[in-house]
Structure 1
Amino acid sequence: MSVTTEAPAYPVDKVNRVKRRHDRGHYDHETVHRILDSAALCHVSYVIDGQPYCTPTLFWREETRLYWHGSSASRMLRNLSDGEPACLTVTHLDSLVMARCGFNHSADYRSAMCFGRARLVTEPEEKLRALTMMVDRFFPGRTAGLRESSKQEVKATAVVWMEIERASAKIRAKGLADDEEDYALPIYAERVPLRTFLGEPEPCERLLPGVERGADLKAYQAGRLLEEALLEAYAAAYA
């Protein structure tokens, strides 16, 4: 007798169900997490006193928990102590699609939308660990070789965490898709692929003699795709 094990997935309800083009929706952990881990910047949305806000910030994932940081003086972060509903999103834009009709112009993309309740990290040791991973998630092991943050610097930085209660990924990888009769029209059409590549490093002009680029930056080599470097760094940081 064979045993079938379903891949871990987030529960689906009216909040996270992909309603338009549901065939592009994904809810399994693997797909959602890969989109998250290959991104550095997210947008987090909250509603405070009836007013919606959306903040761009660096973030990282640990299992099904998301972390991000900001200033302790931030109005939004000061309002998270009771676990405010929040939505965190990331998007990778993979191409621009120019069709023979405006209706069929589109873009290829990969996106993830995560829902939960955002809370401040208040326990001192957990906050210090999170502040370490805020750096080491992108540059594995780097914090150990840095000047230790002062008490005031730690106090000035707020760290937020959110357990992912629901999530969905939406992916379009269709490319150009005109109506069949439109292919006979004398109109130019194309797909323009988009990628983010790393440029040549620009070392600080005030480096002391003998200070070299370390292994913590190994993933970040000129000409490499940013998302590949981020995935490699994530794997190394949480090995």
Structure 2
Amino acid sequence: MSTPAPAAPRSPTPLSPTPRTTVTRGRSRAVEDRAAMHALLQDALVAHLGVDVGDHPLVLPVAFAVDLDGPDRDGTLYVHGSVAARWLTRSEGATVCVTVTEVDGLVTARSAFHHSMNYRSVVVVGPARIVTDPAEKARALYLTVDHMVPGRAATLRPSTRKEVAATAVLAVPLHEASMKVRAEGPVDDEADVEAGTWGGHVPVVRRLGEAVSDPLTDAPVPADVLRRVAAGRASLGCGS
């Protein structure tokens, strides 16, 4: 009997795959390529999670991690918090919204109406689940550490059972996502341009400084932290 051919890998879903993630305003700035979203999620450090906690909506800044090979369709976005956090327990089974934004410039136009910002922004909408599988939970927590400083998790002691029990991890599928990018100068009315008022933009960059050692340690700055600083400085074109 012949062996059936393996199924072809599923192609990544284009961005804005559903009505609730379809860009309607500023559609010319919408991005369809998931690779661009993946690059932003790798670059950004803070996400904002929105959830209905019962008597009011709540939006909180959270550290996050992404596993493109995670168990959810098109990959998994993870956030974590205390098992006692109401926002996290209320998210279980609910539809949540996670946004990630990086500001790349201040756009100074020739009228107040046309002032803007250059940005990269992702919106993810989907059903949240509390991660219960121990292996997935451990991987999500390690990925969160490594998102901040790549390679850091491997240098740390294992988490204690008490620490793991006190921490909850929330997973959101990356399937329903949209992205918009603005990367240009002001879009002014012709009459305002002719008036001669200055227009332009001011680039905004995130800068990593030199690592500062904790006074309680005599150990040198480790290689993983030095690499993180160097990578951040290289992305800005800074010298050593």
TM-score scaled to structure 1, two decimals? 0.83
Hey, what's the Cα distance between the residues in 2 that align with 1:206 and 1:55? 32
Hey, what's the Cα distance between the residues in 2 that align with 1:127 and 1:212? 31
Give the counterpart letter for 1:15 in structure 2.
R
Hey, what's the Cα distance between the residues in 2 that align with 1:23 and 1:87? 23
Spell out the pairing of 1:1-239 with structure 2 (5 A cutoff). Answer: 8-10=13-15, 12-49=17-54, 51-63=56-68, 64-81=75-92, 83-208=93-218, 211-217=219-225, 218-221=227-230, 224=233
Task: Give the Å deviation of 1:53.
Answer: 1.0
Hey, what's the Cα distance between the residues in 2 that align with 1:7 and 1:149? 34
Closer, same or farther: CA 148–193 of 1 in aligned 2, 3 Å: same
Q: Is the 8 A contact 1:201 1:222 kept in 2?
A: no
Closer, same or farther: CA 67–197 of 1 in aligned 2, 3 Å: same
Q: Which moved more, 1:141-150 or 1:115-124?
A: 141-150
Moved over 3 A (4+): 225-228
Give the counterpart letter for 1:69 in structure 2.
H
Hey, what's the Cα distance between the residues in 2 that align with 1:73 and 1:30? 35
Task: Give the Å deviation of 1:40.
Answer: 1.0
CA offsets 1:216-238 (integer angstroms, 9 cap, x no match): 2212238716799xxxxxxxxxx
Q: Secondary structure at the match of 2:19?
A: coil
Hey, what's the Cα distance between the residues in 1 that align with 2:156 and 2:66? 23
Q: Is the 8 A contact 2:131 2:168 kept in 1?
A: yes
Hey, what's the Cα distance between the residues in 1 that align with 2:27 and 2:45? 26
Q: Is the 8 A contact 1:84 1:117 kept in 2?
A: yes
Task: Give the Å deviation of 1:168.
Answer: 0.7
Task: Give the Å deviation of 1:215.
Answer: 2.5
Q: Is the 8 A contact 1:195 1:225 kept in 2?
A: no
Q: Secondary structure at the match of 1:15?
A: helix
CA offsets 1:36-63 (integer angstroms, 9 cap, x no match): 1110100011123252111110111111
Structure 2 gap ranges (5+): 1-10, 69-74
Q: Is the 8 A contact 1:42 1:89 kept in 2?
A: yes
